[in-house]
Amino acid sequence: MLDMKIIRQQPELVQAVANRKGIEVSVERILERDRQKREIQQKVEELRRERNERSERIGRLMRSKPKKVTTSAAVQRGALYEPERAAVKKINDELAALETEWTNVSQELEELLLLVPNLVSPDTPEGLSDADNVELKRVGEPPQFAFPTRDHVELGESLGLIDISRGVKVAGTRNYYLTGIGAMLHRAVQQLAVDLLIKRGFTLLDVPLMVRPDAMTSTGFFPFGQDQVYRVEDEGKCLVGTSEAPLVAYYGGEIVNVKEPIRLTAATACFRSEIGSAGRDVRGLYRVHQFAKVEQVVICEADYEISERCHQEITANAEELLSLLELPYRVVAVCIGDMSQKTYKQFDIETWMPSRNAYGETHSASNLGDFQARRAGIRYRGKDSELRYCHTLNNTAVATPRILIPLLENHQNEDGSVTIPEALRPYLNGMTVIHPIAGPKEPNGTMTI
């Protein structure tokens, strides 16, 4: 959530960012509701003050006792405090109406504020879509094959690693089975990523995969993105599309110690409905409903120099993982039109996928500033003991089965086998090559060392 002070001070900038991020929200309406809310609040405070003063006068009158209790004295006292009582009743009626109006205005303002996007860093490129992202660097060269290549589906099926037809039979489109060594490879890349992050000072958490909707709102996934989420209606919960949501919500509403940045990771199943992606990347494992991710989340001080260092750090962690997998990749600075509502600065890492003859996104590293922490209520005490909202960051360490696309395709051999990168071999009992299986398409559980 954006600080209301920024919206008041720089409304034109906030509206311009919303327009460039493609978010429909009226900053003018927000300011109008903000003004109404403050005016109502001021009236309420004035009326409460007047009510208190009149109530005190009534109390003093009722406590004062005349020397002689006579009918005329009682009438005289009543004549003094009955008008005060009537005035207090009228004030209470006005307060009730104002408090209802305040609730309605506050609710509308809150709903509008949830639509306001984060501002963007000064070095974020201009642009409307991923076509306008700016390449920062390339690492490794795409392999040159002296033979006709197979895509990951052909390789996976011939090697007995992937079974898409049975996945569709059982669960519908965009579903699959990873079988035998395919499932082992899936787990191996996750464990490689987890081990790498633990060495980098990350704490591993096993997190809930079903969370309350308010956890999705507080971490910035709602109100936008609701169509991407599977809901467990009877439980009133949502299946997460990334462990970022439960990792950040873990500290929701708390005051934390960020003298050293808090580094969290989790390896989880993730679920995404992919509404709106009909016809896109329909073949294979690129865009599926269920997948697994090892996520990086960092919570640090509200200092852009510190969070920039953390942003570089989590990007470097993902790059190291790709280097261990011996995969060529590039890093791009994401333009404003391709950024999400909550993102202040973003790098995408794209890995070379021979079947696409292009780089495909495998990682997204984001600095959110204090936008997410404001929603989640995550604060720390600064050196002056004042409470401040933290900065939060996130990045994928590895997402699978998508990572299996470049892993299989870049390491394929002419005979249809796939060479296993050295870094993965300890997680696969020393296996070096996955060989095609003979006969019917069945899981390949054979290891050649």
244-300 pLDDT per residue, tens: 999 999 999 999 999 999 999 999 999 999 876 666 677 899 999 999 999 999 999
pLDDT in tens, 9-18: 999 999 999 9
- Which residues are the active-site residues? 272, 287, 361, 364, 402
The angle subtended at Cα 242 by Cα 110 and Cα 261, nearest 5°, is 80
Q: Structure pTM?
A: 0.91
- Is 4-113 assigned to CATH 3.40.50.300? no
Which one-letter amino acid corresponds to residue 374? R
Hey, what's the torsion of the CAs at 91, 97, 100, 103, to 10 degrees? Answer: -60
pLDDT in tens, 341-388: 999 999 999 999 999 999 999 999 999 999 999 999 999 999 999 999
Angle between helices 27-63 and 11-20 (to 10 degrees): 130
Give me the residues of the chain with pLDDT under 70, please: 65-81, 276-280, 438-442, 445-449
Measure the CA–CA gap between 339 and 346, rounded to whole angstroms.
Answer: 7
Q: Length of the chain, please?
A: 449
Measure the CA–CA gap between 418 and 359, rounded to whole angstroms.
Answer: 20
Distances (CA, A) of 338 to 116, 160, 211, 321: 16, 37, 27, 25
Looking at residue 441, its pLDDT comes to 60
Looking at residue 387, its pLDDT comes to 98
Helices H, strands E: what count in the chain? 12, 17
Gyration radius of the chain over CA positions: 30
* Fold of the 130-434 domain: BirA Bifunctional Protein; domain 2 (3.30.930)
Contacts of 428 (CB under 8 A, 6+ apart): 181, 184, 185, 188, 420, 447
Distances (CA, A) of 114 to 28, 30, 108, 382: 15, 11, 10, 27
3-state secondary structure of 75: helix
Q: Give φ, ψ of 433 to 5 degrees.
A: -140, 140
Mean pLDDT of the chain: 93
Measure the CA–CA gap between 272 and 363, rounded to whole angstroms.
Answer: 16
- Range(s) of the chain covered by CATH 1.10.287.40: 4-113
- Range(s) of the chain covered by CATH 3.30.930.10: 130-434
